[in-house]
Structure 1
Amino acid sequence: MANEDEARPLKKMAEAFKELANILNAADPDGEEARIELGSFSRACSLVSPLFRCLGIAFKFAELDYVAKVEDLSEASKSISTIQLMMAGDIEANCVRKAGSHTRNLLRVKRGIDMVKVLFEQIVVTEGNSLKDPASKAYAQVFAPYHGWAIRKAVGAGMYALPTKVQLLKKLNEDETSASIQMQSYVASVAAVISYIDQLFISRELGIDW
Structure 2
Amino acid sequence: MSFFKTRKHYFQPVREDGKVETIPFLKAAADCTIPFLDILGPKAFYVVKTDINGNVTKLTKKYEMDPVNNSTLQGLVEGEVANNSALKGGSGTETLIWLKRALQFIRGMFVNLLNGVNDGENLIPCAAKSYESYLKPYHGWMVQKVFGLVTKAMPYRRDLLKAMGNGQDEETVINDMKEFLVLFGQNLDAVVEMYQSKNIDKEFKV
RMSD value, Cα: 2.4
Residue 16 (structure 1) aligned with residue 6 (structure 2): no
Q: Compute the displacement of 1:12 (Å).
A: 5.0
AA aligned to 1:37 is E
Check whether the contact 2:19–2:190 (CA below 8 A) recurs between aligned residues.
no
* Match of residue 60 from structure 2: 74
AA aligned to 1:163 is P
Residue 53 (structure 1) aligned with residue 38 (structure 2): yes
Q: Compute the displacement of 1:145 (Å).
A: 0.8
- Measured in 1, the distance between the counterparts of 2:131 and 2:56 equals 19
Aligned mate of 1:110, from 90, 100, 106: 100
Report which stretch shifted further, 114-123 or 87-96: 87-96
**SS of aligned partner of 1:193:** helix
**SS of aligned partner of 1:16:** coil
AA aligned to 2:180 is Y
Check whether the contact 1:58–1:154 (CA below 8 A) recurs between aligned residues.
no
Q: Compute the displacement of 1:186 (Å).
A: 2.9
- Measured in 2, the distance between the counterparts of 1:125 and 1:202 equals 26
* Match of residue 138 from structure 1: 130
Distance 1:171 1:74, change over 3 A: farther
Gaps of 5+ in 2: none
Identity of aligned residues (%): 25
- Measured in 1, the distance between the counterparts of 2:189 and 2:152 equals 32
* Match of residue 168 from structure 1: 160
Report how many aligned residue pairs link the two structures.
193
Report which stretch shifted further, 185-194 or 147-156: 185-194
TM-score (norm 2): 0.81
Report which stretch shifted further, 126-135 or 137-146: 126-135
* Match of residue 201 from structure 2: 208
TM-score (norm 1): 0.79
* Match of residue 30 from structure 1: none
* Match of residue 143 from structure 2: 151
Distance 1:54 1:92, change over 3 A: same
**SS of aligned partner of 1:161:** coil
Q: Deviations over 1:8-43 (max 9, x none)?
A: 443356x822x22xx34xx2xxxxx33322111111
- Measured in 1, the distance between the counterparts of 2:156 and 2:108 equals 17
